[in-house]
Amino acid sequence: MYNSSAAFSSSNTQYKNRLFVYEVEGLSSDSNGNSFNVPIRNSGTVFITVPYSRMNQEMRRINNLGGKVISIQPVGNDVPAQTSQPAPQQKAASNNKKSMTQAEPKKAKKKVPVNIYRPKNPYVGKCTEIYDLVAEGGVGTCRHMTFDLSGGDLHYVEGQSIGIIPPGEDEKGKPHKLRLYSIASTRHGDNLEDTTVSLCVRKLEYEDPETGEQVEGVCSSFLCNLNPGDDVSITGPVGKEMLLPDDEDANVIMIATGTGIAPFRAYLWRMFLEGDKNPDYNYTGKAWLFFGIPKTANILYKDQLEEMVSKNDNFRMDYAISREQQNPEGGRMYIQHRIAEHADELWEMMQNPKTHTYICGLKGMEGGIDEALSAAAAKHDVNWDEYRKAMKKEHRWHVETY
Ligand code: FAD
């Protein structure tokens, strides 16, 4: 049995507020039927996050359940230098050059293209296709559109964005600045020939709070009003925050509101629809999409998403339809309520170093999600803010909101 107290003596105050991950093998239920409800990996081990203050208690509990702790690692990469002698198993773990949370050594990252086209010299591509994504009775206008890239060198990977420069000038007589849009297609494009890029754009429409006048956003209106054959100035690609991990067995939690679905469309198409095109990427992890929209008619890409769920056991999807579904308090069902409903299961998934969480869409959606996950973490005496920061450092927590 691994001796935690030797490795992290209580006199070492540097560790007082820290979290540790136990890798445990041989877990079963105790005589009372209690068990650690954590996903068991193919290797037969599980990961359990433990706050410093409960290390001994958890160790006893694992013992009672017949488990054996095979390694203990501090969470996060900025761990203070250890003052006591590391236990032999810990030395072995560090010799294996594993990351501090048991994450496997990273494969060499493939090069991510950035800024192939800049605003001074954008790529001009033609719109090849544009169609409505909001069904009758839905709120607002949102369109899927595709641009031809065959005349240049613009290429990208899933999770990146491109810039669009709308034609014309702003109120100061200067050319309009570019606006960013998440790429909604995979690197192979909707035509699977690596020569197109697609977007999912909501037309910004609002009432001016001072004049009461109806205002339309410059770039989103330009894009939503395009016709096939029209020219569009494109820059980029940009962005490394929302890249999909290379690991085929990564678990991917996706939390989207509205057009926040765009990068997830790219992920899901790559995972489940483009098998033959990606001989080096055969997705075997678990993907779970949470999608917040106001009405059923606003479920973007509804048919394809639902077909994907029906055909793939490792893809799960939960909607939060605010104007049609109720939360447990009887109010509108927003994304944070759906997250709260599944928070314990999500927390468990996040214990696995192969789980990545992505949030994309409306600015401000993170607060409610944090609240829901805080409650789940608190059940294990873990401070969610610290845990989320640790995941961010490990590149397992990705947020793009606008
Ligand atoms: P503008 O003409 O620039 O008007 C926007 C301005 O209008 C705001 O700055 C604000 O001053 C004002 N305004 C807006 N709403 C109100 C209101 N209710 N009351 C008063 N004033 C208001 N959008 C998508 O549709 N799809 C995407 O996939 C997408 N991806 C993005 C990815 C990233 C990384 C980022 C940063 C943004 C993304 N956006 C996306 C948003 C997009 O970049 C634009 O911001 C959006 O389309 C609006 O641009 P616009 O030119 O139409 O609006």
Same domain, 187 and 268: no
CB neighbourhood size of 247 (10 A)? 18
State which of 161, 172, 179 you would mutate to test the pocket of ligand 1, scoring each by most atoms of that ligand within 8 A of its C-beta: 179
- Active-site residue among 23, 158, 348, 400? 400
> Among the three residues 45, 79, 95, which one is the final residue of a domain in this structure?
95
pLDDT reported for residue 371: 97
At 96, the amino acid letter reads N
- Tell whether 108 is covered by a domain: no
Question: Bridge-partner residues for 162, per DSSP?
Answer: 181
Same domain, 71 and 165: no
pLDDT reported for residue 305: 98
- Active-site residue among 9, 169, 248, 402? 402
Same domain, 261 and 221: no
- Tell whether 100 is covered by a domain: no
Question: Bridge-partner residues for 400, per DSSP?
Answer: 360
Same domain, 39 and 178: no
Residue 12: pLDDT band (50, 70, 90) is very low
- Tell whether 118 is covered by a domain: no
Q: What is the mean pLDDT of the chain?
A: 87
171: tokens are: 């109120």
At 40-96, the pLDDT tens digits run: 555 677 888 888 878 888 888 888 788 888 888 777 644 333 323 333 333 333 444
pLDDT reported for residue 36: 56
In three-state secondary structure terms, 350 is helix
Asked if residue 381 has pLDDT above 60, the reply is yes
Same domain, 27 and 80: yes
The more confident residue out of 36 and 375 is: 375
Three-point CA angle 352, 283, 340, nearest 5°: 45
Same domain, 227 and 255: no
pLDDT reported for residue 86: 34
Domain with 204 in it: what CATH number? 2.40.30.10
Residue 31: pLDDT band (50, 70, 90) is very low
State which of 180, 200, 207 you would mutate to test the pocket of ligand 1, scoring each by most atoms of that ligand within 8 A of its C-beta: 180
- Tell whether 82 is covered by a domain: yes
CB neighbourhood size of 175 (10 A)? 13
Tell me how far apart the alpha carbons of residues 71 and 3 are, in angstroms, rounded to a whole number: 10
Q: Which residues are near ligand 1 (CB < 6 Å)?
A: 161, 179-182, 200-202, 204, 206, 209, 217-221, 259, 262, 400, 402
Domain with 319 in it: what CATH number? 3.40.50.80
At 92-145, the pLDDT tens digits run: 334 444 433 445 555 566 789 999 999 999 999 999 999 999 999 999 999 999
Same domain, 130 and 221: yes
Its domain, for residue 84, covers: 14-95
User: What is the ipTM metric for this complex?
Assistant: 0.99
- Determine which residue's CA is closest to atom 13 belonging to ligand 1: 206
